[in-house]
Chain A
Amino acid sequence: MIILVAIKRVVDYNVRVRPTTDQSGVEISNAKMSMNPFDEIAVEEAIRLKEAGIASEVVVASFGVKQCQETIRTALAMGADRGVHVETEVELQPLAVAKLLKTIVDKEKPGMVILGKQAIDDDANQTGQMLASLLNWGQGTFACNVKVDSDKVIVSREIDGGTQTLSLKLPAVITTDLRLNEPRYAKLPDIMKAKKKPLETLTPEDLDIDVSPRLKILKVSEPPKREAGVMVADVTELLDKLRNEAKVI
């Protein structure tokens, strides 16, 4: 089966973003960009399923500005087989991404779609669930273990109280949590090879999808700052402060 993986280009997790001076958005013009960390885990999982002989081909898709192609090349260097880029300057929100993904699913007919559980820029945690809904497929969100068993996939999920295991009919949608695997680094020869792997480019118009945002961002501001506290010398002073100043114990 084909596995489709959705990968988003985001501001690197080490960058601390700030609002622009007019508060219309965030200052990211010079920020380092990377593949969303959860999506690296998604790509890694798909490649492992291919290495295990379960997947026949790994297709990665990324939607957004031209530079998403760099993110696709990174996934190809990790071991994905081909890429699809839907190019748009529009700020894509989860519902639009899910609809774009659905058109690709309709065309590629994958047996599984793997996404990150959450993009670390919008912190939405929605796209996989929305895609599963649009496709009327089962969903294994926040996955920490994935095992294909003929026409089913057994998924363990990180939930608030511990871990839950579900069995989903294939095809299904999976979203990755941090403990699913440790993504590999691409080696130099693979980075060179990746440049020659196929990369299809489309537009939302080609796919006939309306990607206009449903949520208008009215303002972006900084969260309230915490007052700088004090350093205490020892345990006695700490307990005194907690008891008599903060009154929390």
Chain B
Amino acid sequence: MSVLVIADHNNESLNVATLSAITAANKLSDEVEVFVAGNNCKDVANTASKIQGVSRVLLCESEVCVTQLAENIAPLIYQLADKYSHLLSAATTTGKNLMPRVAALLDVAQISDIIDIESEDTFKRPIYAGNVIATVQSTDIKKVITVRSTAFATASSTDTAVSIETVAAPVDNGLSCFVSEELTKSERPELAAADVVISGGRGLGNKENFKLIEDLADCLGAAIGASRAAVDAGFVPNDYQVGQTGKIVAPKLYIAVGISGAIQHLAGMKDSQVIVAINKDAEAPIFQVTDYGIVGDLFKIVPELIEALNS
């Protein structure tokens, strides 16, 4: 049977996390279709139609889908579900919002945040903030899944495009309505997909000092992350939070500055390739996962680092 991947997008471009979901889908079936629901989102469908391993794209363009409200999109996916064995999406906030709603309509479990596929019904997923990995087997006829993008490579694009078919627009069920959106503007690479991430914690002390993290990130072309404490204290917006209940990142290089390394934080970054920590407390738990640690005052070390990188 085929597998359907629900595209995460903003009507303009396809979220790279979806490329990882497509890779996961290809481990389950050779027939992978991608569903794009939005409005004026042909570009997204075109991009999807050229991804390696995709055999067909379904496109639903409608004013009703423009902000992808789960209340309207879930019934639409439910109607498409018949011919698919698995329905996948990236474990982004959009996917997490939508897929359980679809699963409940289908009366099946949802399998969250898978990191490995053992067979078509058996998956690995982290539980307890990633302190343990569960291997779970689904007994349902259909599998509704969200995919942790850091655990699967991104599918590449090809020159040839597969067909794009139109799906009829849903009716607005009037349960919810979009009011506004405040997106964090940044010229930096996207946190979840960046090669280098510099994260700051409570140790920065205040919002003004957090600029040190920005300066360091500028030197390395890095994305910026933060601990929950730094977000709660208002140093940075909420979408910077890395961890169990924030974003999961696995860059080539992760530098934790003034972060103690609580398990909830480690859950979001411990699969990074190389981890560096700067902390004045030699006993800080972060040092248990670092490749290179420096004990010392961040207000001395970070400026030194910036200077050395700039020279």
Contacts and interface: CB of A to CB of B under 8 A. Distances in A.
A binds B: yes
A207 interface: no
Contacts of A161: 10, 181, 183-184, 239
Nearest to B111: A215
B168 interface: no
Main secondary structure of the interface of B (DSSP, over half): mixed
A63 interface: no
A70 B288 CA distance: 35
A232 B184 contact: no
Interface stretch (A72-80, A197-205, A238-246): A238-246
Contact of A223 (B126, B273, B275, B292): B126
A224 to B, nearest CB: 9
Interface string B207-235: 00000000000001000000010011000
B254 to A, nearest CB: 10
B160 interface: no
Given A169-B176, A226-B270, A248-B273, A162 B109 contact: no
A142 B282 CA distance: 35
A157 B98 CA distance: 14
B100 A215 contact: no
Contacts of A187: none
Given A94-B100, A161-B239, A215-B136, A136 B175 contact: yes
B138 A214 contact: yes
Nearest to B179: A165
Interface string A1-44: 00000000001010011110000001000000000001000000
A216 interface: yes
Given A98-B104, A162-B181, A26 B247 contact: no
Interface stretch (B29-37, B55-63, B302-310): B302-310
Nearest to A216: B137
Contacts of B134: 217, 219-220
Contacts of A139: 70-71, 97, 101, 176
B110 interface: yes
A246 B105 CA distance: 48
Interface stretch (A45-53, A81-89, A104-112, A127-135): A127-135
A214 to B, nearest CB: 4
A238 B239 CA distance: 29
A249 interface: yes
Given A161-B239, A162-B184, A138 B175 contact: yes
Interface in A181-235: 214-223, 226-235
B292 A230 contact: yes
Given A159-B94, A220-B134, A126 B103 contact: yes
Contact of A124 (B105, B112, B183, B309): B112
Given A123-B113, A162-B183, A215-B111, A238 B93 contact: no
A54 interface: no
B293 A229 contact: yes
Interface of B: 10, 69-71, 74, 92-94, 96-105, 107-113, 122, 125-140, 173-184, 192, 196, 220, 228, 231-232, 237-239, 244-245, 247, 252-253, 263-264, 270, 273-276, 282, 287-295, 301, 304-305, 308-309
